[in-house]
Amino acid sequence: MNDKVTVSTLRKYKSEGKKITALTAYDFPTAKILDECGVDMILVGDSLGMAVLGYESTIPVTMDDMVHHTKAVTKAATRAFIIADMPFMSYNISKEDALKNAARLMAEGGAQSVKLEGGIEVADTVKSIVNAGIPVVGHLGLTPQSVNQLGGYKVQGKDDKKASKLRSDAKSLEDAGICALVLECIPMDLAKEITESISVPTIGIGAGPYCDGQILVLHDMMGLTQGHKPKFVKQYANIDKIIRNSVNNYISDVRNSLFPTEEYSFTSRKSDAK
């Protein structure tokens, strides 16, 4: 379990039928826990905008935000394959901008790969980044940076025309050299088709059980997300409740002079007298 996960490891897992595990992390202590538990991939997602920065979407997240949080995660993780999201408009203006921003996430942030949203329209950009020696993870289906164009957070690829477009996009990204492909919020039969048709591992989120691996936003699965919980999220704990109970107990203890007691205090200085 201590061997570093690489692009070759991910391909090997796909060929062996071994499921890939992935979660998001945005800080040092969380990444350390995930890494020590044996998660294969850690995504420093632009989902940090909603999860930890209080934004309503991923769109306000900047390159500086991504570099800052990626750096914290890569300092903690020694085994997991670290992916950093390229945020909104960091790769859409020109290939030169895309290369410069991808290089920042690698050189300054310490990531092992970058993730871009989109299909055939970003394939040339993906190819340029890959040719520069930077592994790229693709992202199809519900692409949060395009949520306004998609008309909201909805399942994608439900009709034949859109499903066909997603299949073509997946092939275009594979040809461009991606090392893995995230499939978000698409029907599970379509995800199965795409998974079986390309050589790179697929990582599903709301895409059913047939992908080569699965990813969730850690804050969703741990019960830290406020408001609506997506259908595809299985909540494994309710950390929100644990934190609230702990804070309420602390407030009560302090106000009632139950903390700190002598157990949590220092004794007086020993006398110098002989």
175 annotated as ligand-binding: no
Angle, in degrees to the nearest 10, between helices 188-197 and 160-176: 30
CA distances from 22 to 14, 111, 147 (A): 14, 15, 23
Q: Closest Cα to residue 81, out of 139, 121, 117, 38?
A: 38
Give the span between the Cα atoms of 52 and 46, in whole angstroms.
Answer: 10
47 annotated as ligand-binding: yes
| DSSP code of residue 152 | S
Q: Rounded to a whole number, what is the distance in angstroms from the first to the last CA of the chain?
A: 59
36 annotated as ligand-binding: no
85 annotated as ligand-binding: yes
CA distances from 125 to 96, 116, 177, 179, 182 (A): 9, 9, 11, 14, 17
263 annotated as ligand-binding: no
Q: Which of 56, 108, 184, 193 is catalytic?
A: 184
CA distances from 31 to 2, 26, 41, 109, 228 (A): 15, 7, 10, 14, 25
Give the span between the Cα atoms of 98 and 96, in whole angstroms.
Answer: 5
263 among known catalytic residues: no
Give the span between the Cα atoms of 202 and 28, in whole angstroms.
Answer: 26
Tokens of residue 74, six digits: 């890569």
- Give the side-chain half-sphere CA count within 13 A for 44: 36
Q: Closest Cα to residue 156, out of 170, 169, 166?
A: 166
| DSSP code of residue 269 | P
Q: Which residue, chain included where needed, has tokens 């859409």?
A: 92
Residues flagged as binding site for Mg(2+): 46, 85, 117
Name the binding residues for 3-methyl-2-oxobutanoate. 46-47, 85, 115
Task: Please identify every residue annotated as catalytic.
Answer: 184
